[in-house]
Structure 1
Amino acid sequence: MVSRVLVPMDGSEIAGQALRYALEVHSDAEITVYHVVGTPSMMMGSAVGLALEEDLEATAEERAEPIFDRARDIAAEYTTEIETDIGLGHPTRAIVNRAENYDAIVMGAHGEHSEGIIRSFLVGNIAKTVFERSPIPVTTVR
């Protein structure tokens, strides 16, 4: 039985679809939306910017809040409350390391496309790598 589900989310529509799927399929489970701050890019743009902040924790929370607001709005459609959690660093490592505390992961097959083809490629690889390395079952949603 699946009692705890981790749903990694970025700002993409497919991440919202993954949360909807988790809420429908695992309606009795505790759902945690997990946003990893400090995503990789060719120049490590947002990760470097985060590292230069004086209050890392406050900045991470500020960057994650729009994602969590959207997740709460989606959960409200199902009259369900969700937990939220923030990770720092490389998304694949953060998600796989967090997985041991859950029974399943539900995530989008691809993430945000707003930063172009390179970002799309990296996020697609994140889902693939999590799928390959996770110690628990992973469902990818398209």
Structure 2
Amino acid sequence: MIDRILVPMDDSDHAERALEYALENFPDADVTVVHVVGAPSMMMGEAASLALADDFEAAAAERAEGVFERARALATDRGREVDTVVGVGHPARNIIDRAEGYDTVVIGAHGADRGRATRRFLVGNVAETVSKRAPVSVVLVR
């Protein structure tokens, strides 16, 4: 039985469809929406990374709030609620590590980076990595 679902979200249509899928197909499950923001790189230099730390956390929370507002609206339209959490770091790694506490991950097949040269033909890079390495079942939504 699926009691806890993790839904990674960004600002893509596929992510929105993944949340809709989770809410509609698992009506009794608790749904958590995670938005992962990449951390400042140490390639920037230690001083620059440290200077950005406080501003980065605030900016990450602010950016995530837009995604979470949309997620809450989708849930409310269906008479549901969602929990939200901000992740920081490499998106696929963060989702895989976080998935341990859930029964399944429902993820959009392509994220917001779908226009970049690193795009995969059928499944986005993050979704592909999560589907191969997550410790729980993964549902890919197109």
Q: What's the TM-score, normalizing by structure 1?
A: 0.85
Equivalent-residue separation in structure 2 for 1:14 and 1:126 (angstroms): 12
Q: Distance in 1 between matches of 2:39 and 2:61?
A: 14
**Higher CA-based Rg:** 2
Distance 1:130 1:20, change over 3 A: same
Q: Which runs of 5+ in 1 are unaligned?
A: none
* C-alpha displacement of 1:39: 7.4
- Contact conserved, 2:118 with 2:125, CA < 8 A, in 1? no
Q: Which residue of 1 aligns with 2:87?
A: 87
- How far does the alpha carbon of each residue in 1:71-99 deviate from its partner, in whole angstroms, 9 at most, with x for none? 01111111101000010010010000000
Cα deviations by residue, 1:53-72 (Å, 9 ceiling, x for unpaired): 43443222111010000101
Q: Which runs of 5+ in 2 are unaligned?
A: none
1:79 partner letter = G
Which residue number in structure 2 is paired with residue 140 of structure 1?
A: 140
Of all paired residues, the percent bearing the same amino acid is: 53
1:34-64 deviation digits (Å, cap 9, x = unpaired): 0001179xx99xxx99x82434432221110
Which residue of structure 2 aligns with residue 36 of structure 1?
Answer: 36
Q: Is the 8 A contact 1:39 1:91 kept in 2?
A: no
- Secondary structure of 1:31's counterpart equals strand
In the alignment of these two chains, the number of paired residues is 135
| 2:56 is equivalent to residue 63 of structure 1 | no
SS in 2 for 1:106: strand
On the 8 A contact 1:112/1:120 being kept in 2, the answer is no
Residue identity opposite 1:35 in structure 2: H
Q: Which runs of 4+ in 1 moved over 6 A?
A: none
Q: 2: CA distance between counterparts of 1:88 and 1:128? A: 19
Write the distance in 1 (CA, Å) between the matches of 2:102 and 2:130: 14
